[in-house]
Structure 1
Amino acid sequence: MTFHPQPRGGVAKPWAFPAPERATLPNGLTVLRCHRPGQQVVAVEINLDAPLDAEPKGLDGVSTIMARALSEGTDKHTAEEFAAELERCGATLDAHADHPGVRVSLEVPASRLTKALGLLADALRAPAFPDGEVERLVRNRLDEIPHELANPGRRAAMALSQTLFPAESRMSRPRQGTLETVERIDAAAVRAFYEAHVRPATTTAVVVGDFSGIDLDAALADSLGAWTGGTAEPRPVPPVTADDTGRVVIVDRPGAVQTQLLIGRLGPDRHDRVWPAQVLGTYCLGGTLTSRLDRVLREEKGYTYGVRAFGQVLLSAPDGSGAAMLAISGSVDTPSTAPALADLWKVLRTLAAEGLTDAERDVAVQNLVGVAPLKYETAAAVAGTFADQVEQHLPDDYQAQLYARLAETGTVEATAAVVNAFPVDRLVTVLVGDASSIAEPVRELGIGEVSIIKG
């Protein structure tokens, strides 16, 4: 019997995260572009300097409504016409608001990029904010809030923010507003927020894709370059403070058969030199199915379908200051709540006493660095990372340097970083579940004072 020769892998090609070209249009708008041959779907990310802390008092959520209303008509098209024009381009346009500002995302086939950039520019330059459309968006947002409060994961995140941050901080309140604040929002408030904070001089556009045969300079000049507005300095980034005294908050859900866990504290952001080691150590702790938390709580004890540890940047300032949320999340059945927490704390204490192993470190590096070329196969993934770097005031080559530092980080350094990130006596624990069943067993663990709030 004759077999075909076994296929063999080719020579591995070197890979590095791409570097953008940076330029400034005459109107002050900053542009980062990155030519990616073969990427026929072009991704555009727009960073608007309209952070949540800029929202007027009592109008939390106005930036979210403004972001959603950007595509609801312009000085050239009604909302229906604008949607139809996007559809003719084969484009999608999304926008959302977060603590650093408003992000607008466009994806479009390269052949329709020029037309889509014109529509995007119209949405930024002259949004109509019709009264009826804003009222509809407000009603939609009001309808969403009860669903979010009913979702254990979202409710835990709200409770953690409320507990961790001071009451006067915007960080302590829901990103998209509450029933009380959203119902006060009208078209006039949206227009006022737009006029106060949206202008080309404080905006950055990221464009990634295959630009072959496209005069990108001309396309940008005729679209985003035609946007006019006054000059302004970027808003100062407020300091982020938090109280991470070890304690437990139970959001009472009588009769709940599961408990949602969210354990967190404030930590350093990407400007801190410890970040690469912290990323590596956190991945070993709870980044994948083979991590320590999953191995104990899922595989050995069967408490959960999965537990994850992660770091999420909240705010970063140009001077290098900033903060990230360091957290552990998961869910367990109600009777297992206290045993699961006990074992989770045991994992943290064992980690502090014994450290990570070289094998754990090697697997984490392989998973984080080795799969990076796959992670960034699409233009949208690359553009999103560039936009994150802009929001966080990082250099353009930050992501490329991060992968190099991850590969160089040793086991001892990763251990120290993750132990410092999750100290057993400085963690705020939020539990969304049946307080009558879990409160007393949790108190007996001694991981902090226990308080109960309504679900």
Structure 2
Amino acid sequence: MRQVAAGPRPEVAEPAPWSFPEPSRATLPNGLRVRAFDMPGQHVLSIQLGIPAPLAGEPRDLEGVALIMVRCLDLGTQRHTADEMAELLARKGIALHSAIGERGVVVQVDTISRNLPAALDLLVECLTEATFPDAEVRREVRHRLADIGQDRADPGSLASLHFIETYFDQGDRASRPAGGSRETVSRISAQDVRDYHARVMHPDGATLAVAGDLTGIPWEELLERAFRSWPSNPDHRPAPAPRGLRAAHAGRIVLVDRPGAVQTELQVGGPGPGRSDELGWGPYQVLSFAVGGAPQARIDRVLREERGYTYGIRAGFRPRSHGGLFTALGSVRGEVTVEAVEALLQILDLQGEDLTDAELNHAAGYQARTAPGRFATCEAVAGEAVSLALDELDVDFVTRTVNQVRTLQPQVAREAWDRHRGAPWTVVLVGDAQHADGIRALGRGQVDVVAQPREPSASPSRTDDAGTLA
């Protein structure tokens, strides 16, 4: 075999600067803002509609009505029954999904390009002609009640429920589940859903993102034709988003007793920034990765690799409409609960100056280099555009953030970390109460032990996805 002399290894150059796709823009006659992203080669289009309808606008005694509304949106219209609508969507290869969030409602339609007109027509039919049949609403209410029982039985969901209840002020919508409680959901009728739909589902302030291969598609003409039957309501004013006020006594530890639990689920949180922070959002993406966003991050390096307490704990900054949070969540072996909580809080008590240049530069490099991959699909692009619009931000926010990450100086990241530290942590543990004395001995403040809530034994079986948490 002939030997080939090895030449010098090629140098791996830094990737070129990357920009989020720039959309074509339009505003339809009814006021709906459109962002169209031409992504050649992606023939399954993603159409996503963001409607500002913050959960704070739900009637207090009917919380959960927004979730029931979106689950029933395609379950019957003035022209089609639920079965007929399902058949139409399946025949045309159209997927329609809807969801709620803190800031509003998102309706997503995925379709191949040649079926775009049909997909838009069915979308608008659901927006303007949904009838919310009594039987369908009752069924979805039963599903949501089953979800609530499942959430109370699952340690991770239970920790999240107790966390928002402990961290946020009781008068703030953020302190209660996005999908409503057993008490409020059980009151919801079909008429309540119709009334809520009529009040919040308007194009005023809404944004529609269309992403995919738009070559040869007269998208603006198709959108104008489809949405002409969704009229503007100049008098409509969305409710303000919840402030996310922190409770006066949020800095404490709550231990939810699960006798005999072999693992302890934990969630730790404190104040964090929103995406409009003065230092920019880039430093917080880097900090999230460096502290708790990867197996080699500080938390897992200690709790998983060095001590074997956990399979993994993830942590990071979570922006909200007003401000945000830093949270860490995961599970640890029950017998090391006290040691794991102590170690985790010691890590989270770090000062900005404790973060090394090496770990910050590694985190920044990873975040900057993987950004193109995170937005490689039309679904991801349309979803980000709608999410930003609901936060009243434009898509250039992504490009600016990635550029900031790519050129980030470690000292800026250190300043960002210190900027939001100082308040005592909110700690929620779901595990055996036998650990309570050991947790108290850590001297980390008030420790409250509460019993795990019991759900009615006659709860129906779970048949749908659980409601999201605020």
Task: Confirm or deny a common fold (TM above 0.5).
Answer: yes
Contact 2:20 2:398 in 1 (8 A): yes
Q: Distance between the aligned counterparts of 1:245 and 1:137, measured in 2? A: 34
Cα distance, 1:10 vs structure 2: 11
Q: Distance between the aligned counterparts of 1:347 and 1:180, measured in 2? A: 39
Contact 1:118 1:222 in 2 (8 A): no
Name the SS of the counterpart of 1:370 in structure 2. Answer: helix
The 5 A counterparts of 1:154-165 are: 154-165=157-168
Cα distance, 1:365 vs structure 2: 1.3
Q: Distance between the aligned counterparts of 1:192 and 1:174, measured in 2? A: 21
For 1:85, the equivalent position in structure 2 comes to 88
For 1:433, the equivalent position in structure 2 comes to 431
Cα distance, 1:353 vs structure 2: 7.2
For 2:408, the equivalent position in structure 1 comes to 409
Q: 1:60 aligns with which of 59, 63, 72?
A: 63
Q: Distance between the aligned counterparts of 1:102 and 1:229, measured in 2? A: 17
Q: Does 1:241 align with 2:245?
A: yes
Cα distance, 1:281 vs structure 2: 1.5
The 5 A counterparts of 1:184-223 are: 184-223=187-226
Q: Distance between the aligned counterparts of 1:68 and 1:3, measured in 2? A: 66
Contact 2:51 2:390 in 1 (8 A): no
Fraction of identical pairs, as percent: 37
Cα distance, 1:21 vs structure 2: 2.5
Q: Does 1:263 align with 2:264?
A: no
Which letter maps to 1:240? G
Name the SS of the counterpart of 1:205 in structure 2. Answer: strand
Cα distance, 1:396 vs structure 2: 2.8
Bigger RCO (CA 8 Å, 6+ sep): 2
- Give the RMSD, CA atoms, in angstroms: 2.1
Which letter maps to 1:254? P
Which letter maps to 2:297? S
Which letter maps to 1:220? L
Q: 1:280 aligns with which of 269, 283, 286?
A: 286
Which letter maps to 2:330? G
Which letter maps to 2:45? V
Q: Distance between the aligned counterparts of 2:92 and 2:361, measured in 1? A: 45
Name the SS of the counterpart of 1:312 in structure 2. Answer: strand
Name the SS of the counterpart of 2:109 in structure 1. Answer: strand
Q: 2:447 aligns with which of 433, 450, 453?
A: 450
Q: Distance between the aligned counterparts of 1:356 and 1:48, measured in 2? A: 40
Query: For each residue in 1:67-108, what CA deviation from the matched residue of structure 2 results, as whole angstroms up to 9, or x when unmatched?
Result: 111111222211111111111221211111121111111111
Cα distance, 1:170 vs structure 2: 1.0
Cα distance, 1:13 vs structure 2: 5.9
Q: Distance between the aligned counterparts of 1:209 and 1:39, measured in 2? A: 5
Q: Distance between the aligned counterparts of 1:33 and 1:412, measured in 2? A: 38
Q: What is the TM-score when the length of structure 1 is the normalising length?
A: 0.93
Unaligned runs of 5+ in 2: 453-470
Q: Does 1:299 align with 2:302?
A: no
For 2:458, the equivalent position in structure 1 comes to none
Unaligned runs of 5+ in 1: 316-321
Q: Distance between the aligned counterparts of 1:8 and 1:226, measured in 2? A: 59
Which letter maps to 2:338? A
Count, aligned residues: 446
Moved over 4 A (4+): 2-14
For 2:323, the equivalent position in structure 1 comes to 323
For 1:27, the equivalent position in structure 2 comes to 30
Cα distance, 1:201 vs structure 2: 1.8
Question: Which has the higher mean CA deviation after the structures are superposed, 97-106 or 284-293?
Answer: 97-106
Which letter maps to 1:326? F
Contact 1:297 1:340 in 2 (8 A): yes
Q: Distance between the aligned counterparts of 2:208 and 2:179, measured in 1? A: 24
Q: 1:253 aligns with which of 258, 276, 291?
A: 258
Query: For each residue in 1:344-388, what CA deviation from the matched residue of structure 2 results, as whole angstroms up to 9, or x when unmatched?
Result: 122234x31752112111211122110111111110011111111
> Cα distance 1:344–1:116, how it changes in 2: closer, same or farther (>3 A)?
same
Which letter maps to 2:394? P
Q: Distance between the aligned counterparts of 1:195 and 1:365, measured in 2? A: 46
Contact 1:62 1:189 in 2 (8 A): yes
Q: Distance between the aligned counterparts of 2:416 and 2:3, measured in 1? A: 52
> Cα distance 1:257–1:212, how it changes in 2: closer, same or farther (>3 A)?
same
Q: 2:119 aligns with which of 116, 133, 137?
A: 116
For 1:132, the equivalent position in structure 2 comes to 135
For 1:373, the equivalent position in structure 2 comes to 372
Name the SS of the counterpart of 1:200 in structure 2. Answer: coil
Name the SS of the counterpart of 1:145 in structure 2. Answer: helix
Q: Distance between the aligned counterparts of 1:372 and 1:333, measured in 2? A: 34
Question: Which has the higher mean CA deviation after the structures are superposed, 240-249 or 191-200?
Answer: 240-249
> Cα distance 1:421–1:288, how it changes in 2: closer, same or farther (>3 A)?
farther
> Cα distance 1:409–1:113, how it changes in 2: closer, same or farther (>3 A)?
same
Contact 1:348 1:419 in 2 (8 A): no
Which letter maps to 1:405? Q
